[in-house]
């Protein structure tokens, strides 16, 4: 059973239906209310994948306040990748032959009022412990940019194109009806590195620092008012220094 206590925060698996509802309410705050997509009435962000997943909660120890959550969908290998949330939006046949254990991390969010960087560290520490204990070889999911106007993130997308595209054998293909093909569209675009990094979502920055890679296009999700890219990370590709730092938190 996942349990990690570090400083002011503790991470654990949801154990009850109410735990899952708490995560769904936090997701609603982060994905719906904070983006101005609904009124002030409290709600829940829930879908058919929730019953299939393990839900991780990061709580403030003193108050018990939920400050971060995400869900995990373990897969025995690439043959099961069609079961994933990401497979709704990306054609993932290139990954079907992946032989090792995989896990999809999804619905990652922070409470809109929580800005302590230690929260993200504890979340990644919990993920590291899960990966080690379960023998996971690949982590994947969708990383989201706020809004649906690609022009706001051209520098970030150009950096992704130049440095972080998926290996060709695993490259996700287009499936969604509305996409921005940044690798195709930004061939001669010269990005500003500072603007690029400022535009990267924190979760995506974390993936990239560990050696992660992305699809060559972004899916336009107008329901959630986001642009998202498929993101993959082979555990063995994580730099040794980063592995040591993660395991120090997870230990």
DSSP code, position 102: E
Mean pLDDT for 208-228 is: 94
What does the pLDDT read at residue 193?
93
Mean pLDDT for 15-41 is: 84
Q: Residues of the chain with pLDDT > 90: what percent?
A: 82
Q: Is the pLDDT of residue 165 over 90?
A: yes
pTM, full prediction: 0.93
**Cα–Cα distance measured from residue 103 to residue 89, given in angstroms and rounded to the nearest whole number:** 17
What does the pLDDT read at residue 195?
95
**Cα–Cα distance measured from residue 2 to residue 121, given in angstroms and rounded to the nearest whole number:** 16
What does the pLDDT read at residue 251?
74
Tell me the DSSP string of 129-178: HHHHHHT--EEEEEEEEESS-GGGGHHHHHHHHHH-BPPGGGPPEE-SSS
CA atoms within 13 A on the CB side of 191: 25
Contact 246, 128 (CB under 8 A): yes
What does the pLDDT read at residue 223?
84
Q: Is the pLDDT of residue 1 over 90?
A: no
Contact 156, 200 (CB under 8 A): yes
Residue keyed to tokens 């400083």: 7
Q: Is the pLDDT of residue 36 over 80?
A: no
The tens digit of pLDDT for each residue in 105-144 reads 999 999 999 889 899 999 999 999 999 999 999 999 999 9
Superfamily designation of domain 3-250: Gcn5-related N-acetyltransferase (GNAT) (3.40.630.30)
Question: What are the start-end ranges of the E strands in the chain?
Answer: 3-6, 9-13, 54-60, 66-75, 90-91, 102-110, 138-146, 173-174, 179-180, 213-214, 218-221, 226-234
What does the pLDDT read at residue 106?
95
What does the pLDDT read at residue 37?
67
What does the pLDDT read at residue 42?
63
Domain ranges of the chain: 3-250
The tens digit of pLDDT for each residue in 79-95 reads 999 999 999 999 999 99
Average pLDDT, the chain: 93
Q: Is the pLDDT of residue 40 over 60?
A: no
**Widest pairwise Cα distance in the chain:** 52
Q: Is the pLDDT of residue 4 over 90?
A: no
From residue 128, give the alpha-carbon distance in Å to each of 7, 113, 139, 184, 238: 17, 25, 10, 34, 11
């Amino acid at each position: 059973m996942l349990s990690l206590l570090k400083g002011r925060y503790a991470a654990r698996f949801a154990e009850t239906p109410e735990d899952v509802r708490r995560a769904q309410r936090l997701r609603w705050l982060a994905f719906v209310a904070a983006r101005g997509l609904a009124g002030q009435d409290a709600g829940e962000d829930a879908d058919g994948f929730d019953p299939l997943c393990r839900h991780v909660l990061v709580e403030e120890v003193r108050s018990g306040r939920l400050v971060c959550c995400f869900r995990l969908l373990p897969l025995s290998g690439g043959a099961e990748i069609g079961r994933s949330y990401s497979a709704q939006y990306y054609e993932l046949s290139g990954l079907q032959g992946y032989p090792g254990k995989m896990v999809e991390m999804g619905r990652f969010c922070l409470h809109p009022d929580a800005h302590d960087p230690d929260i993200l560290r504890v979340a990644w520490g919990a993920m590291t412990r899960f990966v080690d204990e379960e023998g996971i070889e690949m982590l994947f999911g969708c990383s989201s940019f706020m809004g649906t106007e690609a022009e706001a993130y051209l520098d970030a997308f150009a950096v992704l194109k130049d440095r972080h595209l998926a290996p060709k054998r695993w490259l996700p293909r287009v499936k969604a009806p509305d996409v921005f093909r940044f690798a195709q569209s930004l061939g001669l675009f010269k990005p500003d590195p500072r603007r690029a990094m400022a535009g990267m979502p924190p979760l995506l920055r974390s993936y990239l620092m560990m050696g992660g890679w992305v699809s060559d296009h972004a899916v336009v999700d107008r329901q959630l008012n986001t642009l998202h890219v498929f993101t993959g990370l082979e555990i063995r590709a994580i730099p040794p220094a980063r592995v040591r730092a993660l395991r120090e938190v997870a230990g």
